[in-house]
Amino acid sequence: MELWYGRLAHGARPLSSQGGQGGPDLSAIAPEESYGRQLEHGLRLSGESREFFLEGRLDCLVNQLERVGYQRGAVLDFGCGDGSSTSRILDRLGVQGLVGVDHSEEALMQARLGSDGDSVEFRLPGELASEARFSLAYSNGVFHHLEPGKRLSAARYVFERLLPGGLFAFFENNPWNPGTRWVMARIPFDRGTTPLSPPTARGLLRAAGFEIVSATSLFFFPRQLSWFRPLERALGVVPLGAQYLVLARKPNG
Ligand SMILES: C[S@@+](CC[C@H](N)C(=O)[O-])C[C@H]1O[C@@H](n2cnc3c(N)ncnc32)[C@H](O)[C@@H]1O
């Protein structure tokens, strides 16, 4: 949930008053722009970079995985988008293989263009066999794009492809954070979507067969208050950050 966070750091103004000399102009995010363009455009509004949020998620994930003694293996990135997270996921988790799936052909094409590793593949969801072969699945900001009635089958899709004991790192935007809601209402690709609260996410994952390992909130403080960020790890139990991670496990038996 990159967008609101950095924007607050620059001081919130009504959208209609933005623009001008290099200033952010949310009103210029046209719904007809491609998903990728909207995302890029949105990220320009952020005082923090896309990498900042990716690294924050990965810090949180690595910390949680260390606590549960994660056994490294192949990773499934569900809703991988343009693959811009792939190399950092591989590096930070110290894993060798990753399969990214996404239902957008355009996103997959960009992901393949940006990929230089033999150990990485990008596919449509229907192209990936239902064989259980992944030790970890990662998903960021995908499930709020799914109609509520389609979320359970998506969570089951991930469940089926995980090895017994495999983990699902489920990152989502937090609707309990007012800034998150404010920005999501203004970005065309997020407008009209229904974000999942942390308990809704846990319920969904349980319904798909997972057991919940932990739930952690992240991104509490904007750049102006960055000296408080060392407290964010301790605040992780407070479900009010801009994003959250639910770490879930496929039972062994
Ligand atoms: C907000 S983007 C996040 C992309 C990426 N996970 C990231 O962190 O940059 C959401 C992605 O979910 C994908 N998506 C939406 N519905 C999907 C579905 N049913 N199956 C697979 N991918 C889906 C979209 O195409 C888009 O690439």
The closest alpha carbon to 166, from 74, 66, 67, belongs to 74
Q: Tokens representing 223? A: 């750049």
**pLDDT of 19:** 35
Residue 32 has pLDDT above 70, yes or no: no
d(CA 253, CA 243): 31
Burial class (CB in 10 A: 0-12, 13-18, 19+), 52: middle
Distance 225 CA to ligand 1 centre (A): 30
**pLDDT of 225:** 86
Pocket test for ligand 1, best of 103, 170, 194 (most atoms within 8 A of CB): 103
Distances (CA, A) of 119 to 130, 160, 162: 19, 21, 18
Answer yes or no: is the C-beta of 3 below 6 A from any ligand 1 atom: no
Distance 102 CA to ligand 1 centre (A): 6
pLDDT in tens, 214-237: 999 999 988 888 899 999 999 999
CATH of the domain at 160: 3.40.50.150
Burial class (CB in 10 A: 0-12, 13-18, 19+), 155: buried
189 pLDDT band (50/70/90 cuts)? confident
User: Which atom belonging to ligand 1 lies closest to the Cα atom of 54?
Assistant: 8
Answer yes or no: is the C-beta of 42 below 6 A from any ligand 1 atom: no
Distances (CA, A) of 161 to 57, 125, 137, 167, 201: 23, 11, 9, 11, 19
Instruction: Give the residue, by CA position, lying nearest to ligand 1 atom 21.
Output: 102
**pLDDT of 12:** 31
Dihedral of the alpha carbons of 161, 190, 242, 110, in degrees to the nearest 10: 50
How much of the chain exceeds pLDDT 90, in percent? 67
Give me the count of residues in the chain: 253
Instruction: Give the residue, by CA position, lying nearest to ligand 1 atom 14.
Output: 79
**pLDDT of 40:** 59
pLDDT in tens, 136-169: 999 999 999 999 999 999 999 999 999 999 999 9
> In total, how many domains does the chain have?
1
Contact by Cβ (8 Å): 218, 244: yes
Token pair 């995010």 is found at 29
Dihedral of the alpha carbons of 180, 184, 190, 193, in degrees to the nearest 10: 80
Residue that wins the pLDDT comparison between 29 and 231: 231
Domain enclosing residue 71, as ranges = 2-249
Is 49 in a helix, a strand, or coil?
coil
- Mean confidence (pLDDT) of the chain: 85
Nearest 5°: the CA angle 40, 151, 186 is 35
